[in-house]
Structure 1
Amino acid sequence: MIDSDPNNEMRWEVSNIRDQDEAEAGIMPSQTVGPYVHIGLTLDGSEVMVEPGTPGATQVTVSVTDGDDHPIADAMIEIWQANEEGVFNSPLDPRTGEQATAEGFRGLGRGMVDENGAVTFTTLVPAAHDDEEAPHLKLGVFARGMLERLYTRLYFPENDNSTDPVLNAVPESRRHLLIAEKTDNGYRLDIRVQHENADRETPFFGL
């Protein structure tokens, strides 16, 4: 369980040592990602992947909560996606090839959540990259207490996602957790990193 509830007691005893020379030598606790996971990774405006008003632009809000449904207020979300033609800005995409540059639509966005555990991206609705996978966003979740980022996906409700092989690898009872909700301004996906009810916990993928 991630310590995201400020009303609970800390899991570890709080040390009164104020000088490192006062600390005894010994085995240190295991290292985790936080609490400074976002330092050096975020940049002002990195959640704005296209300017508002760009043809095809939309807003995508992602929220992150823990197993007690409390917002994880220091989480960082990373998006990687294709453009409106289904092309990734990467040399690994043969349709982009060596012409991939940081100019234009990068397909990469990062954003820190607010006190409610949510961040909103301004981006393009992607097209399908190939004939197998439905249009989607690849999401990475970083947060204090996580040893590694969590990988998941966001699918769009207006598309036929029934034949997507990655979505079909998820138990049928949980597939809806990866399909965004349509909102007045765009889309929203609520990510739950833990839950005692497995049917409410967001599916994550091992890469």
Structure 2
Amino acid sequence: MVQPLGYLKESASQTAGPYVHIGCTPNFVGIEGIFDQDLGSGPLYNDKTRGERITIRGHVYDGGGNTLKDGLVEIWQADTDGFYNSPSETRGKADPNFLGWARCPGDMATGEFVFHTIKPGKVPFDGTRWMAPHITFWVVARGINIGLQTRMYFPDEEDANAADPVLARIEHKVRIPTLIANRQGDDYVFDIRLQGENETVFFDI
């Protein structure tokens, strides 16, 4: 029997609080026995994974330039050949030794997030154009009602970045550098700024 739902009211939206860590990363906050390890933690690759190993580090900053120490960041990316580890991937078979997704809470003392992954390949935008190698980021933290989506591009892919159709859609070209990581030694550094000067470009997905 179908019951009417008109009497149900929409719950008020709330910003991400401590429960996001309890639900998503219980081991990180000291709640053990639920998972052997938190989902999405650890490297995205193993010894058999194809591609260049890279490390991504960064912080999430609020509008006042302060580091958020309670943020949670997830990444989603293609493998080194540009295939996604997803049932919807129909172009070819993704590397079975590459996860393609990871989750990292910011360090409670420094706010830093760290991902050990591989550099992704190009992926198609449509039948004629390709997107430059990139990694999609999803961010939740205090003061955010809905998770924020952004992308990280690579500074050593200048030609691919210049031809990327998504970057081309950004109206204010001076903001494109907010999506390009900085290379520091063996690491890529990608800081995400929620507001204020050099605010990161976010996408409505």
CA distance in 1 between partners of 2:101 and 2:88 (Å)? 15
Please give the per-residue CA displacement for 1:47-100, whole angstroms capped at 9, x wherever unaligned.
421248965111011210111111100001100000001000012111347xx7
- List structure 1 runs of 4+ shifted beyond 3 angstroms: 51-55
For residue 163 of structure 1, report the CA deviation from its aligned partner. Answer: 1.4
Tell me which of 155, 158, 174 is aligned to 2:156. Answer: 158
2:22 counterpart residue number: 39
SS at match of 1:60: strand
Answer yes or no: is the 8 Å Cα contact 2:71–2:111 preserved in 1.
yes
Partner residue in 1 for 2:44: 49
Structure 1 residues 90 and 69 mapped into 2: Cα distance closer, same or farther (>3 Å)?
same
Could you tell me how far apart the structure 2 residues matched to 1:53 and 1:178 are?
30
Equivalents in 1 of 2:12, 2:71: separation in Å?
A: 22
The 1:47/1:154 distance shift into structure 2, 3 A limit, reads farther
* Number of positions where the alignment pairs a residue of Structure 1 with one of Structure 2: 174
Measure the CA separation in 1 of the matches of 2:119 and 2:131.
Answer: 15
On the 8 A contact 2:82/2:121 being kept in 1, the answer is: yes
The CA deviation at 1:31 is 2.4
1:125 aligns with 2:119: yes
Q: Deviations over 1:174-193 (max 9, x none)?
A: 00110000111220111100
| Displacement of 1:169 | 1.8
1:10 matched residue in structure 2: none
1:181 aligns to what?
Answer: 182
Tell me what 1:137 maps to: 135
**Secondary structure in 2 aligned to 1:175?**
helix
Q: Which entry has the higher C-alpha Rg, 1 or 2? A: 1
Q: State the TM-score, normalizing by the size of structure 1.
A: 0.76
- With the length of structure 2 as denominator, give the TM-score of the two structures: 0.77
Q: Give the Cα separation in 1 of the matches to 2:183 and 2:39.
A: 27
**Residues 115-143 of structure 1, C-alpha deviation per residue, up to 9 Å, x if partnerless?**
22211110010010124210000000011
Unaligned runs of 5+ in 1: 1-27
Cα shift at 1:109: 0.6
1:140 and 1:88, CA in 2 relative to 1: closer, same or farther beyond 3 A?
Answer: same
User: Residue 19 of structure 1 corresponds to which residue in structure 2?
Assistant: none
Question: RMSD over aligned Cα, in angstroms?
Answer: 2.3
Match in the other structure for 1:24: none
1:97-136 alignment runs, 5 A limit: 104-114=97-107, 115-130=109-124, 131-136=129-134
Determine the C-alpha separation between the residues in 1 that align with 2:52 and 2:66. 33
1:49 alignment partner AA? L
For residue 167 of structure 1, give the secondary structure of its aligned residue in structure 2: helix
